[in-house]
Structure 1
Amino acid sequence: MKKILTLSAAILLGVSALAQQALQGGPSTDSPVINPDGTVTFRYRAPKAVKVTLSGDFLPVRKIEMEMNGQTMTFEQPGMAELKEGQNGIWEYTTPFKVAPELYTYSFTVDGNQVLDLSNVYVNRDVSTLSSVLLVPEEGARSDLYAIHRVPHGTVSKVWYPSATAGFDRRLTVYTPAGYETSKTKYPVLYVLHGIGGDEDAWVTQGRATQILDNLIARGQAKPMIVVFTNGNISEEAAPLENSTGYTRPTMSLPQTMEGTFESAFPEIVKFIDSRYRTIAKKQSRAICGLSMGGFHTLYITLNNPDMFNYSGMFSAAIGTGSEGRATHKEIYENIDGKLATYFSRKPALLWIGIGSSDFLIQANNDFRKKLDAAGYPYEYMETDGGHIWRNWRIYLSEFVPKLFK
């Protein structure tokens, strides 16, 4: 025991020393600071810098155009603002407006080099980009769902399943609701899918999914459920640094992306979860949803398995991008009209579609809704402000979950 305590003390001293080197090289810098009037102040210490700017999704967006699959599409980028240098080399910027309650990401650029806020240890990873995080909660606001409250909390586990399709074990993130370990109750299951370049960690970190679930369940606004966050990159075992290949730079350009293999293999995940957890193993107690690529996956997994899911949610679904025509497993994407007819003949409880009004995929989603309308197929639709962003996807999840398993 004495050796263990000595080792622990040494580790703590080492961590403390590193912290001092990283954060205590000069005057204390508080950043970000939510002011009493709702504005937010950001600070960065850079005594030798010539220019420091701030980029964040709480600032007015910038629009850029990019070519994708032969089409010119308009994307939104976080806005920018310049910091002013003050005393002791501390640069500062205060928003000229009250920042609305929400979860935001931001970074600084110091003389052309993008850096994190060293005074803020809360960091998220989106594919290969690291950003500092700002949570502005407010009682009664939606962002209050993203905060941790003193409510019963579920358990988040990293679980490996054998994939016969991939030929190796693959990792899932699984949420079990509060009380799962001490009860014999069987639960419905929601499968949640990430976007391109993401992985099984994305919804838990950027999406605040576990906080949303804990809070909705505690409020009585959602049924207790098991939630499975999959890794839609079938060529990968798990998130970066969590697999046998060691360090590989995260990228959107992964093999076997949106070409049918993941969709065709999805039943093996459902089978594994039903064998491993106390699930209600029937269609009426299963739901699936996903963002962007995950919305694309959700549509085709649902249509190719019409007796598997009773609830399906497409969040900014990446349909109509041309991926279907280049697929290895074209059969997954063929005969969509016939598959829609079969799916709706089974009378699913809910098909839910959400997208931002300035999302570059809105036209493709509107075309899909026209197809549904022409055939008289029922669905629910939500259109929000903004584009292809996590702020919207958190909204959609918090809207979709309370509708399940009624």
Structure 2
Amino acid sequence: MKPNNKQFVLSVLLIFVINIFSINAQEIQQRRGVQVVSPEINGDNSVTFRLYSENAQSVAVSGSWMGFGQNLEMKKGDDGVWSAKTAVLEPSMYHYNLILDGVSILDPRNPKAMRDGTRYASTLIIPGEGSETFEVNDVPHGSINKVWYDSPSLDLTRRMYVYTPPGYEGSKEKYPVLYLLHGGGGDEDAWSSLGRANYILDNLIASGKAKPMIVVMTNGNPNQKAAITETQPIPSDNPLIIATAKFPTSLVNDVIPYVEDHYRVIANSSNRAIAGLSMGCLHTQIASLNNPEMFKYMGLFSLGLHPNDPNLEEIMKPLIAAYDANLETLKKNYKLFYIGCGTEDFVYEGVQNLRKKLDDNNFEYLYNETGGGHTWANWRTYLSDYAPRLFK
């Protein structure tokens, strides 16, 4: 049956409307930058960043592989796409922001992002040797549980993350425990989202380099119930000093008893380790020195002794007092005292002060000096080196 003229005209009109809509949709997609690829990892491990903006006056990239305050300027093409290409980057995980007319933004074409306290940034991983330890590889994976617990020492109900190794749920085995502490500005989310601690442990355990272990990632800010994305911090005049004074006590009196009551752990010092970065390194030293028979393994990432720094005087007082009072007792009980620091880290001098104090007291330690500064790239490296040495 042949269509009549009216049906024919309607069909032609419908096809015309569909074509016009399709063309307009493509134009809208292109104008919105859908065709832009960013970041693009090139074959030589350089990276190209792109951003579509017809009206921007300036666009730059600020990345963790750069020196402090340095930016990579982007250039605008005739199509309205700004772009810039980095030098060759070493395999690692990096974070970055785009600076659009002086305003720091996430890369709108990159779905991968991280939070470090109140700061957000886009992320990328350059594959290769150096990244394999923390990538999501085809190995058995452990679980991370977000656990709320009572903290009588702080008069709060608080949250921590607890990693259990592959096979934990289906076994009756008991495991050693690593207490892993974050730095200033971070919270209980930091070591999994930024440090990728769970993937590091998954990969180390799968390769037989590390023993299966439970990893407890706490919130070291005693004025917080949990990460700021979940709860409001309790107002505090100087949260860092309060953290120094209160959190190590809460760790020993509240966190460890809860873990040993609620998880299948080997509850003795030979199967109990502690490590932390920056502020968490301060907490690690205070907790282990004031309880010298509690931990056989201590990991110090990027913090030492800064006795002559007036900005750190109040923070250093309890740490120096702990060394003076308990270093000799600790010497009789520990198995591993691990120190890691980058040569460009602003705490480098303080770490050398710590090493001198330990040397003067004939205290043996393992020192891992790397390049770079006060960065997650280093802290992931230290954890990857520290964890295989535990519970041997």
TM-score between the two structures when normalised by the length of structure 1? 0.84
Q: Secondary structure at the match of 2:283?
A: helix
Measure, in 2, the Cα distance between the counterparts of 1:362 and 1:22: 49
Counterparts in 2 of 1:333 and 1:263: CA distance versus 1, 3 Å: farther
Counterparts in 2 of 1:273 and 1:223: CA distance versus 1, 3 Å: same
Q: Secondary structure at the match of 2:377?
A: helix
Deviating more after overlay: 217-226 vs 82-91: 82-91
Which runs of structure 2 are paired with 1:7-406 in the superposition (5 Å)?
25-59=32-66, 61=67, 77=68, 79-95=70-86, 97-138=87-128, 141-243=129-231, 245=232, 254=239, 256-267=241-252, 268-317=254-303, 319-320=305-306, 325-326=313-314, 334=321, 336-346=323-333, 348-406=334-392
Per-residue deviation, 1:235:
1.4
The runs of 5 or more residues in structure 2 that have no matched partner are: 1-27
Per-residue deviation, 1:26:
3.8
Per-residue deviation, 1:253:
5.6
Give a deviation string over 1:170-199, Cα, whole Å, max 9, x none.
110000000000000000000000001110
Give a deviation string over 1:223-271, Cα, whole Å, max 9, x none.
000000011101110001222x3xx699996365343211122212111
Q: Secondary structure at the match of 2:198?
A: helix
Measure, in 2, the Cα distance between the counterparts of 1:313 and 1:78: 30
Counterparts in 2 of 1:84 and 1:398: CA distance versus 1, 3 Å: same
Q: Please tell me the residue identity of whatever aligns with 1:230.
A: T
Q: Please tell me the residue identity of whatever aligns with 1:40.
A: V
Per-residue deviation, 1:323:
7.5
Identity of aligned residues (%): 43
The runs of 5 or more residues in structure 1 that have no matched partner are: 1-20, 62-76
Per-residue deviation, 1:336:
2.1
TM-score between the two structures when normalised by the length of structure 2? 0.87
Deviating more after overlay: 313-322 vs 388-397: 313-322
Per-residue deviation, 1:166:
1.0
Per-residue deviation, 1:151:
0.5
Counterparts in 2 of 1:269 and 1:323: CA distance versus 1, 3 Å: farther
Measure, in 2, the Cα distance between the counterparts of 1:208 and 1:354: 18
Measure, in 2, the Cα distance between the counterparts of 1:269 and 1:156: 16
Per-residue deviation, 1:332:
6.7
**1:15 corresponds to:** none
C-alpha RMSD over aligned residues: 2.4
Per-residue deviation, 1:326:
2.7
Measure, in 2, the Cα distance between the counterparts of 1:382 and 1:128: 30
Deviating more after overlay: 248-257 vs 330-339: 248-257
Q: Please tell me the residue identity of whatever aligns with 1:83.
A: M
Is the Cα–Cα contact under 8 Å of residues 304 and 354 in structure 2 kept in the other structure? no
Is the Cα–Cα contact under 8 Å of residues 259 and 326 in structure 1 kept in the other structure? no
Measure, in 1, the Cα distance between the counterparts of 2:342 and 2:236: 25
Per-residue deviation, 1:324:
7.3
Per-residue deviation, 1:79:
3.3
Q: Please tell me the residue identity of whatever aligns with 2:182.
A: H
Measure, in 2, the Cα distance between the counterparts of 1:218 and 1:100: 25
Measure, in 2, the Cα distance between the counterparts of 1:381 and 1:240: 34
**1:5 corresponds to:** none
Measure, in 1, the Cα distance between the counterparts of 2:53 and 2:355: 51
Is the Cα–Cα contact under 8 Å of residues 56 and 78 in structure 1 kept in the other structure? no
Measure, in 2, the Cα distance between the counterparts of 1:301 and 1:220: 30
Measure, in 2, the Cα distance between the counterparts of 1:123 and 1:23: 24
Per-residue deviation, 1:387:
1.1
Measure, in 2, the Cα distance between the counterparts of 1:197 and 1:23: 39
Q: Please tell me the residue identity of whatever aligns with 2:321.
A: E
Q: Secondary structure at the match of 2:239?
A: coil
Is the Cα–Cα contact under 8 Å of residues 156 and 175 in structure 1 kept in the other structure? yes
Is the Cα–Cα contact under 8 Å of residues 128 and 250 in structure 1 kept in the other structure? no
Give a deviation string over 1:375-398, Cα, whole Å, max 9, x none.
111100011111111111111110
Is the Cα–Cα contact under 8 Å of residues 127 and 252 in structure 1 kept in the other structure? no
Measure, in 1, the Cα distance between the counterparts of 2:30 and 2:242: 41
Counterparts in 2 of 1:338 and 1:26: CA distance versus 1, 3 Å: closer
Per-residue deviation, 1:114:
1.1
Is the Cα–Cα contact under 8 Å of residues 351 and 380 in structure 1 kept in the other structure? yes
Counterparts in 2 of 1:58 and 1:29: CA distance versus 1, 3 Å: same
**2:11 corresponds to:** none
